[in-house]
A and B are shown apart, each in its own frame.
Chain A
């Protein structure tokens, strides 16, 4: 590697310069971004499943339309992010293969089940809420295509979060059965949501380099804290109880402090032992396998059309 090139790159990035696809970049920078962006895309795709689980049973026409529109957005985010990753020289086929083979990861939170309607709503409130907290700083990411993708994605995630909160409010202010449903969802999704920010800072191998490269702007723990402070206030507004007996406001810092996060559970789910890891992967592979003949047909048709137009031109 040319040390002058590297120096120039580092100072460009340190000065908040943007990196574009054709620019020279260190291989590690490229690989880090490919991993992060494709993982993000895979999360959008797998994330369609737990919410999609309630499309057929959404309890009103309005809720069904909101949910369909949201899941449609998530699929769109996946496509948009795959395109951003492709600008780094990885192909869509390689990324699909990495997800299907289990080599690539996706956000572990989607390995939890949506057992009631309230779970599907709570995903909008908490998971989209956590996603925005993570992604707003990514709008300033040093890699241009990712930063631009995030600007659009964040707008939609913010909309999902508001709708999720509104949906939770309808349940929390509803009948006693609805309120119990909402509380049950918060009980199930609270800890996975705050674990979504990843391991604590002293146990986060990739963080320092990503900070220096302006891919990451805040540490996992800083982002987690931002989210907790926001979510606690919102849970109070809903009249729901956060399932953490140790939760308290730290008067000095003004931040909400939680009890210990169960990192053993987090790592177990990351390593495939969550309630739905196998189900999510089986579902994705089944969709992929059952669609193979359709994709082949589309390709065969496109080839025939091309041959026809070449013949006509000749």
Chain B
């Protein structure tokens, strides 16, 4: 697969899957303000997915629309990192997942927006502003929960311990990524990891949370290898287009 198409699909899939996850919180959040916030962030992410998919479909030249790419690919053709498909869990787990991904996407999109591929740059420029906001919002919550009550602190540390192993995959570059680095589309893994640790380090310090590294580093999302969760997520999301093929909605 062409590296630009692959990259567009990977970031489109990250946004799609995470947006689908966040949308689930709407009407179930701890406050109505958070219902608004989750709907808004889900909307940002699905908007990003839509743009990445349109680009991928256009470059691929097989006439696949953004909807075809979203709704008619199975889990083994989805290329998101496994972090974003992990379950919502409690609110602590959802904001922890959000802060881990948003910090990363903020940095990558910031680079991509100034990078050599104009199509990706245009999408990234918009996405960077959104992810910077998601990082701030989720980061504030991680701090609040970490430095709130005993219970909220314990839940946050548990969420970090649970999700941390999947963070490694964000930086597990393959040949496609390396090509994109050489073409000045993606920043190199070492650089983003360093910046990412700096952004998050500050949040975790203020939250009083510690990273417990246990050496487990699951991954493979870039090649379509996923946890059991993704297939359920897609089954629900794709039910109408799969049930009524070729139908316009």
Contact = CB atoms under 8 A, between A and B. Distances in A.
Interface in A181-223: none
B43 A297 contact: no
A286 B33 CA distance: 17
B149 A68 contact: no
Interface string B30-45: 1111111001101100
Contacts of A175: 244, 247
A63 B70 CA distance: 13
A20 B244 CA distance: 54
B70 A57 contact: no
Contact of B144 (A63, A65, A297): A297
A259 interface: no
A71 B236 contact: no
Contacts of B53: 61
B46 A287 contact: no
Given A177-B244, A300-B149, A291 B26 contact: no
Given A59-B241, A63-B249, A300-B148, A79 B32 contact: yes
Contacts of B248: 170, 174
Contacts of B90: 290
Nearest to B239: A57
A249 interface: no
Contacts of A142: none
A297 B27 contact: no
Contacts of A11: none
A59 B26 contact: no
B149 A297 contact: yes
A261 B33 CA distance: 38
B36 A75 contact: yes
B149 A61 contact: no
A5 interface: no
A152 interface: no
- Chain B interface bracket (under 10, 10 to 19, 20 to 34, 35 or more): 35 or more
A61 B50 contact: yes
Contacts of A78: 32
B161 interface: no
Interface in A8-54: 45, 48-49, 52
Nearest to B95: A294
A230 interface: no
B39 A170 contact: no
Main secondary structure of the interface of B (DSSP, over half): helix
A56 B19 CA distance: 10
A60 interface: yes
Contacts of B28: 283, 286-287, 290
Interface in A48-99: 48-49, 52, 55-65, 68-69, 71-72, 75-76, 78-79
Main secondary structure of the interface of A (DSSP, over half): helix
A285 to B, nearest CB: 11
Interface string A234-245: 000000000000
A159 interface: no
A301 B20 contact: no
A287 B30 contact: yes
Contacts of B56: none
Contacts of B71: 59-60
A286 B29 CA distance: 10
A68 B39 contact: yes
A107 interface: no
A125 B31 CA distance: 28
A283 B50 CA distance: 31
Nearest to A171: B249
A166 B29 CA distance: 30
A76 B33 CA distance: 8
Given A287-B29, A296-B148, 15 more contacts: A48-B26, A56-B236, A57-B236, A57-B240, A61-B53, A64-B46, A68-B23, A71-B27, A72-B36, A170-B248, A290-B28, A291-B91, A293-B155, A297-B145, A304-B147
Interface of B: 20, 23-24, 26-36, 39-40, 42-43, 46-47, 49-50, 53, 66-67, 70-71, 90-91, 143-145, 147-149, 151-152, 155, 236-237, 239-241, 244, 247-249
